């Protein structure tokens, strides 16, 4: 299985995105109004679709050895394809919302960190199930 599908790496990602978001907030980064719900909800939806794809195509994810094979496994299910499409849509909408309301790099970083935190935290149970022996 590719290292990006291991529980340790995914827990590290969740903690890292939470730390980045906390640091940005502590440093006074502007909150990008409309981009926050887009990024947060978009991340949760993408994570839910990813989790569902991992459950529906366990063997493809478990046999993936490269990042491209992980992406190919994601594309084998409707929920995986939806996750990919929604991810790009959420990024574009978040970027547009930041550019429209508060065009600054810190505001964009807040939206990105929130998206990735929400996505990775929501997908984490799928990664844990994928790595559970006998499932």
For residue 135, the model assigns a pLDDT of 66
Residue 108 and residue 43: Cα distance in Å, rounded? Answer: 15
Residue 54 and residue 48: Cα distance in Å, rounded? Answer: 10
For residue 21, the model assigns a pLDDT of 95
Q: What percent of the chain has pLDDT over 70?
A: 99
Mean pLDDT of the chain: 93
């Amino acid at each position: 299985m590719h290292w990006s599908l291991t529980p340790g790496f995914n827990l590290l990602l969740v903690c890292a995105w939470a730390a980045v978001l906390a640091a940005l907030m502590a440093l006074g980064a502007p909150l990008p109004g409309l981009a926050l719900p887009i990024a947060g909800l978009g991340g949760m939806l993408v994570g839910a679709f990813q989790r569902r794809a991992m459950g529906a195509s366990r063997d493809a994810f478990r046999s993936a050895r490269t990042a491209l094979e992980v992406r190919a496994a994601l594309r084998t299910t409707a929920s995986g394809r939806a996750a990919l499409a929604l991810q790009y849509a959420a990024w574009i909408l978040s970027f547009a919302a930041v550019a429209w309301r508060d065009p600054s790099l810190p505001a964009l970083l807040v939206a990105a960190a929130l998206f990735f935190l929400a996505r990775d935290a929501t997908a984490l149970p799928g990664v844990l199930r994928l790595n559970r022996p006998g499932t």
